[in-house]
Structures are given as C-alpha cells and as structure tokens.
Amino acid sequence: MPSSSENIPKSLNGWASTGKGKQLENLELPLKTFQDDDVDMRITHCGICGSDIHTIDSGWGPTNYPCVVGHEITGVCTAVGKNVTHIKVGDRIGVGAQSGSCGECDDCKSGHENTCSSGKATFTYNSKWPTGEEAYGGYADKWRGHSRFVFKIPENMSNEIAATFFCAGVTTYAPLKRYGVTKGSKVGVIGIGGLGHFAVQWAKAMGAEVVALSHSDKKREDAAKLGCSDYVVTSNKDEMKQHNSTLTHIICTAYSSHFDWPANLNLLKTNGTFILVGLPEAPLAGIPAGLLAVRQITLCGSIIGSPSDIQEMLEFADKTGVKPWIQKYPMSEVNKAIEDFREGKPRYRFVLEN
C-alpha cells in the first residue's frame, strides 16, 4: 500500500490532443495502476516544449491519440509506493521527458538511462508503461510514474521556475558538460530561444565565453542580458567570416531546412565540437564531409539527460543562479498558449499553471 495523505485516484483530467489540427479538449483519462515504485503528483506547473507541438501535429511520426502532452512537470507529491525512499508526501517534485527505462541494458547500468538501448524506455507522453497502459503528460491535474525519474525541487527554486529545467534545461546542460565546456571555452549558441537562452546561461556559468548566433538582429539586447559577449547575425556573411576558427563548441538549438553547414562549421576551431539538440522533422542534409575531416570536427547529437544529469543540473542551477525567462498561462488557457507558441511569442519559455 502507498504512503499517502490522499486516496489513490484512478483518473486524471487532462488537456488532450484528439487529432492533428484539432484544439486540445479537457478529458478524463485513466492513470496507470499504482505500483510500489510509483509516485503521485498534484501538478502545479508544466512548461510548453517544441516537442509537445511536434507530437500534437504527428510531426515526428504517428501520435497515439488522445494524447496529453507536457514533459516539464512540477507539483506536490501526494502518494509514494512502499519502495520509494527519496521522495515523501508533501515534497515539491518534478519530472521530465522520460518516465522509465529498462534498467537492464548497458546504457541503463552505466547511468545513461536517457539512451536506454532496449527499446523499453517509457517517455512521459505518447508512450506506454511496461504494463501496456498509456503514459500521459503534464497538461493535466495529476501525474503518476516511476520514482526513479522524479526529483525533489531545490528549496530556493519555485515550481514555476523549476518546470522548464526538466526538459529545456537538461537538454542543454548535459551535452555542454559532457563535451567539456569550461573556463577557456568559447561557445556559439545557435538560436536564442527556449533552449538557447538556457544554453547561453549554462555555458557562461561553466566559465566559457558565449557568442549568440541568430538569423536576425532582434534578440541582440536579450543575448547581452543573458551573458553573451558577442552577437552574430548568421545571414550576414561578413560577420560570419570574422568569427571563423574562433569557437571551441557550437550548440545548435534551432535548425532550419536551409541550414548553411559550411558557414557554421567554419566557425569552429580545429577539434571543435558541434552539438545538435534542436531536432528537425526532416533528415539532415548538406553536411560537408571534407570540412569535418580537415578541421577534425566532432558532430554529435544529444537527447535530454539521465537522472544523474538532472540531479546534477538542479544542484548547479541552485548554486549558480541560472534560471529560465518564463511567461505563465492558466492551464485552462492552454489552447491560447499553444497558438501564441506557434506564432513565436515565447520570451523564452511558456509555463502553464494550475
């Protein structure tokens, strides 16, 4: 039996996508069966992520409708299973894009659950639990899932601020840490948006100099406030050439179908690293193999982060003061929030609030 201050509910009320092109509808849907390793959460906040929109639109493949998206979830713990020791009822907690993994493959055993290679990982929505039950996300009043992927929110961090760390935050923190960004590094950030504004702050907090790389001039002032030492308009060929061979790393958070690979890779020093975290719906094209070889460039991707990455990130943010720029909407106005998101209005992360 769970340790709880409430009766264990059997359903959630969530804002569900019922088909491509349709507005979200408020539906009652079943929660997974409560198990000994599970945690229940009363949701207070959920960030809106580009992944939510891709899923609503079946952009990355077929979506299993009805689907409740949202994987930047924070709230208050209302129940814990008998095996759960690191979370207790009443704790402020959060969960991100992943809710489960097999725990048995080489990746899981080595602490890289985010790359679980068994094909048995459970993502927070448009996915299934090992029981075959549907996983539902955070555009809702409740969430239930495995405690391995649930984290206590630092005491000095509010739920609304913590929410977007669980996807946008760790998606940018983990690869910057993994690929050695530190004092003496010079990092280019492509796209000053929901992911990019985190990437600038992480790199700066790690001791690096940061250069914003944006398709227009409109975010120059914001980039300076975030900590960038320089700002390059990527459509300006002269500005781009002035920065050739100056960057140790580039993290790409915004990828377009007309991406100029040669111009961007030329910004990297020899043995530089290009990190792709903004995932397009179409395959990559136009990558110059010769330039990769001559500069000995590492071209890599990264997906979210492991539980240990998330825990480390929360502690690092608490220590350094990194935090998102957010705009809040009532959960009941989720369709308006999505409309504004599609129009490119976030500066720089939307958060829904119950």
Residue 195 and residue 279 in one domain: yes
Residue 140 and residue 252 in one domain: no
266-297: per-residue pLDDT in tens? 999 999 999 999 888 788 999 999 999 999 99
Q: Any idea what the CATH number is for the domain that residue 128 is in? A: 3.90.180.10
The structural domain count of the chain equals 2
Query: Any idea which residue has 């690929």 for tokens?
Result: 179
Residue 119 has φ and ψ, to the nearest 5°, of 80, 10
DSSP lists the bridge partners of residue 4 as: 79
Compute CA distances 183 → 176, 204, 297, whole Å. 12, 9, 20
Q: Any idea what the CATH number is for the domain that residue 212 is in? A: 3.40.50.720
Element (H, E) at 93: strand 92-95
Residue 272 and residue 348 in one domain: no
Residue 275 and residue 320 in one domain: no
Q: Report pLDDT for 256.
A: 83
Q: How many other β-carbons are positioned within 10 Å of the β-carbon of residue 49?
A: 27
Residue 132 and residue 215 in one domain: no
**Where in the sequence is the domain holding 231, given as residue range(s)?**
169-301
Residue 16 and residue 39 in one domain: yes
Q: Report pLDDT for 257.
A: 79
Residue 191 and residue 106 in one domain: no
Q: Report pLDDT for 72.
A: 98
Q: Please choose, from the candidates 164, 217, 214, the residue with its C-alpha nearest in 3D space to the C-alpha of residue 192.
A: 214
Q: Which residues of the chain have pLDDT under 70?
A: 1-6
| Domain-ending residue, one of 301, 326, 345 | 301
Ramachandran class of 195: left when φ > 0, alpha when ψ lies in -120 to 50, beta otherwise: alpha
* Alpha-helix runs per DSSP H in the chain: 50-56, 106-109, 159-162, 168-178, 196-205, 220-226, 237-242, 261-265, 289-295, 307-320, 334-342
Residue 212 and residue 280 in one domain: yes
Residue 38 and residue 183 in one domain: no
Residue 67 and residue 181 in one domain: no
237-266: per-residue pLDDT in tens? 999 999 999 999 999 999 887 899 999 999
Residue 107 and residue 188 in one domain: no
Residue 150 and residue 14 in one domain: yes
Task: Say if CB 188 and CB 249 are below 8 A apart.
Answer: yes
Q: Report pLDDT for 277.
A: 96
Which residues lie closer than 8 Å to 11 by C-beta, 6 or more apart? 28, 29, 30, 31
Q: Please choose, from the candidates 110, 115, 72, 109, the residue with its C-alpha nearest in 3D space to the C-alpha of residue 94.
A: 72
